[in-house]
Structure 1
């Protein structure tokens, strides 16, 4: 791989940065809300699973 000088590297970085399509404010807000909802649902789900398994383990240990 050929080495390039720092000036050429910076020009290439700037050219690639111009190609980036940034999300709109509405897209960012919508995505953030979706992530918060999914995080809450998953937290409740795993709380339930953990509670069920905890009760199963308590029951199994009470048999001993």
Structure 2
């Protein structure tokens, strides 16, 4: 690794930070909403899978009893 002095390092850090493109408030709100919607949809999906699995297992176990 190349050794740089602290001043060069600080300049390089400033140059890299200047390249960052921060999302707008609108973009942040839209992506946050999308995350909540997807989490809700996945929760519904897994709830459905859980209910179907429970129904199948209950049916199988009641036949064995």
Q: Which runs of 5+ in 2 are unaligned?
A: none
Q: Which residue of 2 aligns with 1:32?
A: 32
Give the Cα separation in 1 of the matches to 2:59 and 2:5. Answer: 69
The corresponding residue for 1:17 is: 17
Instruction: Number of aligned residue pairs: give it.
Output: 64
- In angstroms, what is the RMSD of aligned CA positions? 1.4
Partner of 1:57: 57
- State the TM-score, normalizing by the size of structure 2: 0.80
TM-score by length of 1: 0.81
Once structures 1 and 2 are overlaid, which stretch shifts more, 51-60 or 18-27? 51-60
Counterparts of 1:20 and 1:11 in 2: how far apart (Å)?
15
Unaligned runs of 5+ in 1: none
